[in-house]
Amino acid sequence: MFCNKTIMTIMKRLKNVSLIAILGFFASFVSVKAQDLAEGEQIYKNNCSTCHAVTDEVVVGPGLKGILQRRTIDWIVPWVHNPQAVIASGDKYAVDLYNKYNKAQMTAYPGYSAAQITSVIAYIDAQAKVVAAPAAGATPVAGGATSAAGASNGGMMEYIMIALLAVMVLVLVALLSIVSSLTKLSTITPDSLEAQGIPLLQRIAENGKKLTRSSAFKTGAALLITLLIGKATIDAAYGIGIHKGYAPEQPIQFSHKLHAGQYEINCNYCHTGVYKGKGANIPSANICMNCHNAIKRESPEIQKIYRSLEKDEPIQWVRVHNLPDLAYFNHAQHTNVGGLECTNCHGEIAKMEVVQQRSSLTMGWCIDCHRKTNVNAKGNAYYDKLVELHNSETKEPLKVQDIGGLECSKCHY
């Protein structure tokens, strides 16, 4: 009996253990697969989605839905590594495809391993099944609606505040008049009022009129108006040289909402310096031609790109953000080292039809962020010693101001 019981408990334990083991095995299997897909997704979104869709839709290159039915992995891997080499080798499928897409050149990705490319294709295949028709078209429209609302937010708030202020003043006046009416009323009995034959409301209104004529009210109103005018003047004075909200018309109606938003082209595909250098760079017409030698050739706006190239005159984009020469700003320091997003400083560019300056770009703006923002020190050996020293002195996290972010010479030549 006893023996049996122990065996039973041991068996039970074993069952649990093996169940856990089996579950663990499946979990690890699934997570490896999910990890592969996640890596595939990342590679796809960072590189391929610029030119390909997971549907049938042609972007720059063909839609990749059903690619595994058309091509084998053995063909795709060398193709992604070096499309021009496959075309040059005379591969009929490649040559036909190349001609069909107006000789648009696909970027070569010699750096990705066969396994990585397989994950990308697996991701595309999985996505193609998920996206299958209905929901696909809806997203850009929704994006459009929110962006319109977002764009007018800044100015709207101010109007709402002013309107609220005006309402508050009116309510104050009304309340004061009611209070004064009531004090008067409390000194006379209802009988005497009725005897005078004047209805209550009318009396209140009359008292209101008296109040607006009173000198105290006039001084109050004058003071309020002076204050408002004063504030506007001071704002305007401080605003000299500040171009927040500046959104000039550009020589070509280039839309970030379309390119960076709807087609999800990475910012650094065009702004090539943004993670590497001081300036972000404005793309040359050649970068536009990677796509527009095939896309929308007939559009008058696209014709302007061709004309600029033919005449060898760069497109005259109007500069939006511009710090005075006395200040030094470096993109790579903020995006790459600091780990900041473009939106931290530029707002939702990917939702803008026309680029608008969203931050003031004043010294106060830079300093304010340097006071508040923690240094992105994780995994950066450069900061290890500094963090150690800092932590031995205080419990506060290491802020940009602690690494010299408030020193004049860091931002001024």
Segment 10 to 49, residues that bind ligand HEC, using CB under 6 A: 43, 47-48
Q: Does 51 bind ligand HEC (CB under 6 A)?
A: yes
Reference 301, options 258, 252, 260, 257; nearest CA is 252
* Site size with ligand HEC, rule: CB under 6 A: 101
Q: Does 283 bind ligand HEC (CB under 6 A)?
A: yes
Q: The tokens of 203 are what?
A: 């009396």
Alpha-carbon gap, residue 407 to 16, rounded angstroms: 62
Minimal distance, residue 362 CB to ligand HEC, in Å:
4
Q: Does 59 bind ligand HEC (CB under 6 A)?
A: yes
Bridge partners, 399 (sequence order): 374
Say if CB 390 and CB 398 are below 8 A apart.
yes
Q: Does 128 bind ligand HEC (CB under 6 A)?
A: no
Nearer CB in complex with ligand HEC: 271/390: 271
Residue 65: burial class (beta carbons within 10 Å; 0-12, 13-18, 19+): buried
Minimal distance, residue 29 CB to ligand HEC, in Å:
25
Minimal distance, residue 232 CB to ligand HEC, in Å:
20
277 DSSP assignment: S
Residue 43: CB partners within 8 Å, gap ≥ 6? 112, 116, 119, 120
Nearer CB in complex with ligand HEC: 26/328: 328
Q: Does 323 bind ligand HEC (CB under 6 A)?
A: yes
Instruction: Figure out which of the listed residues 279, 353, 386, 387 binds ligand HEC, where binding follows CB under 6 A.
Output: 279
Nearer CB in complex with ligand HEC: 176/411: 411
**At which residue do the structure tokens 């891997």 appear?**
77
Bridge partners, 52 (sequence order): 58
Alpha-carbon gap, residue 83 to 205, rounded angstroms: 84
Task: Tell me which residues in 73-92 interact with ligand HEC (CB under 6 A).
Answer: 76, 79-80, 83
Stretch binding ligand HEC (CB under 6 A), from 2-10, 172-180, 216-224, 317-325: 317-325
Minimal distance, residue 150 CB to ligand HEC, in Å:
14
Q: Does 320 bind ligand HEC (CB under 6 A)?
A: yes
Q: Does 270 bind ligand HEC (CB under 6 A)?
A: yes
**What is 348-398 written as a DSSP string?**
-GGG-SS----S---HHHHHHHHHHPBP--TT-HHHHHHHHHHHHH-SSPP
Alpha-carbon gap, residue 73 to 91, rounded angstroms: 15
Stretch binding ligand HEC (CB under 6 A), from 33-41, 57-65, 137-145, 201-209: 57-65
Instruction: Figure out which of the listed residues 39, 85, 109, 353 binds ligand HEC, where binding follows CB under 6 A.
Output: 109
Q: Does 290 bind ligand HEC (CB under 6 A)?
A: yes
Nearer CB in complex with ligand HEC: 180/344: 344
**Long-range contact pairs involving 103-110 (C-beta distance under 8 Å, separation at least 24):** 103/293, 104/60, 104/61, 104/290, 104/291, 104/293, 104/294, 105/290, 106/51, 106/61, 107/47, 107/51, 108/80, 108/81, 108/82, 108/83, 108/84, 109/47, 109/80, 109/81, 110/81, 110/82
Q: Does 122 bind ligand HEC (CB under 6 A)?
A: no
Residue 48: burial class (beta carbons within 10 Å; 0-12, 13-18, 19+): buried
Q: Does 301 bind ligand HEC (CB under 6 A)?
A: yes
Q: Does 405 bind ligand HEC (CB under 6 A)?
A: yes
Reference 254, options 246, 263, 241, 245; nearest CA is 263
Residue 384: CB partners within 8 Å, gap ≥ 6? 377
What would the x/- binding string for ligand HEC be over residues 141 to 160, using CB under 6 A?
A: --------------------
Nearer CB in complex with ligand HEC: 185/354: 354
Q: Does 302 bind ligand HEC (CB under 6 A)?
A: yes
Nearer CB in complex with ligand HEC: 180/262: 262
Minimal distance, residue 307 CB to ligand HEC, in Å:
12
Q: The tokens of 64 are what?
A: 């990749």
What would the x/- binding string for ligand HEC be over residues 213 to 252, using CB under 6 A?
A: -------------------------------------x-x
Instruction: Figure out which of the listed residues 208, 338, 386, 387 binds ligand HEC, where binding follows CB under 6 A.
Output: 338
